[in-house]
Amino acid sequence: MKILTEPIGSIPRPIELILGMQANAAGQLDDKGLQQLFEAALRDTIKRFEETGSPVITDGEQTKPSFATYPIAGMKQLDPNGVVIPFADGHTRQLPKITAGPFRYQTHADAYLKKSKQLTSLPVKQAVISASALSLLYPAEGITGYSQEQFINDLLNEAEADIRESLNSGAYNVQIDFTEARLALKLDPSGGLLKSFIDLNNQVLNRFNEEERKKIGVHSCPGGDHDSTHSADISYADLLPLLFQLNAGNFYLEFAGEKDKNTVLIAIKENLRPSQRVFLGVTDVLIPKIESPEEIRDTILHAAEFIAVDQLGSTDDCGFSPFADDTSTARDIAFAKISSRIKGTHLAEEALNKTTVYV
């Protein structure tokens, strides 16, 4: 009896890289020097991932500006004054908005994947941003000569290509970051906005066949950034019945940070489809405490009382540093939490195998 375990994606960047990115933005470090820092961070991240014993790794998103904006980095037709996302501690993140069409990704995620696969023999998963998140780039006032309908058509094509190119380039699987799901319910408690997001993402997912969708997953959390969230006050019981309508094979859910875990597990049990697997977060990325392997084992064993083991996996609650400038979590702590997750998952496997009765 095997319990799958995977990371979400981002790892805190080395401080040398963060300072280098700041220096490059200020014109104090040339692009060649910055590229050398990127390459060093990527090599170190993969090496340290391998040392954790993780069966599946990521590139830690070391060279992404953020999990959300990598496709538009360098795009000229942008206005920085787009949608503002407030967090519970008072800080905000702001998306840009496009000023002209057609909409095209400047970078596809397979570019990151190809570099990381050259540095490891382990399976590499690739995170991509959801079409629904990027739909927020279209301005409310519209764009003369480029309708929202035209934008959505372009967006769907680009989002499909982002996933398909990663699969074709040998990704172990592809994870769609859909952290705006709970936020959508906060902005519109009726569920209308979330339903529109799910419909948009399903339009992308439905372009893939059943076998391909087994290698495509969706990540949802309340938006971890600078040890704060944007929608942790929204109940999973409201989110999950809609979230599991997405035609994806895997779901990666924040769980360790939830206070009422039984309610979450009941909601999963009631809504998870037979063809789907749920990876529960067993490490809380917003706190520095390193969960012990025994704590993680017990979290998984508790979840197995509600969820069939062949539909259960473990992960981290969220990416440790989804934005490049986030220094709220130490790099060493992130890898220690990942190592503990690996060990705790093995302990849970051993415990479940001991209690399995064969006839």
- Domain of residue 35 covers 4-355
The tokens describing 139, both together, are 């301005």
**Residue 5: what residue type?**
T
Mean of the pLDDT values across residues 147-171?
A: 98
User: How many domains is the chain built from?
Assistant: 1
Q: What was the pLDDT predicted at 328?
A: 76
Strands (E) located in 211-351? 216-220, 250-253, 277-281, 312-315
Q: Alpha-carbon distance 129 to 159, whole Å?
A: 8
Is residue 329 scored above 60 in pLDDT? yes
Is the C-alpha dihedral spanning 286, 122, 244, 149 positive or negative?
positive
Strands (E) located in the chain? 4-5, 78-79, 84-86, 92-94, 97-98, 126-129, 174-177, 216-220, 250-253, 277-281, 312-315
Report pLDDT digits (tens) over 286-322: 999 999 999 999 999 999 999 999 999 999 999 998 8
CA angle 19–67–259, rounded 5-degree value: 105
Q: Alpha-carbon distance 242 to 235, whole Å?
A: 12
Report pLDDT digits (tens) over 84-112: 877 777 777 878 999 999 999 999 999 99
**Residue 311: what residue type?**
Q
Report pLDDT digits (tens) over 221-270: 877 666 667 777 878 889 999 999 999 999 999 999 999 999 999 999 99
Nearest to 334 by CA among 271, 284, 264, 300: 284
Nearest to 152 by CA among 98, 192, 191, 193: 98
Tell me the CATH number at 163. Answer: 3.20.20.210
Query: pTM here?
Result: 0.94
Query: What is the average pLDDT value for the chain, to the nearest integer?
Result: 93
Q: Alpha-carbon distance 355 to 295, whole Å?
A: 19
| Residue 201 or 180, more confident | 201
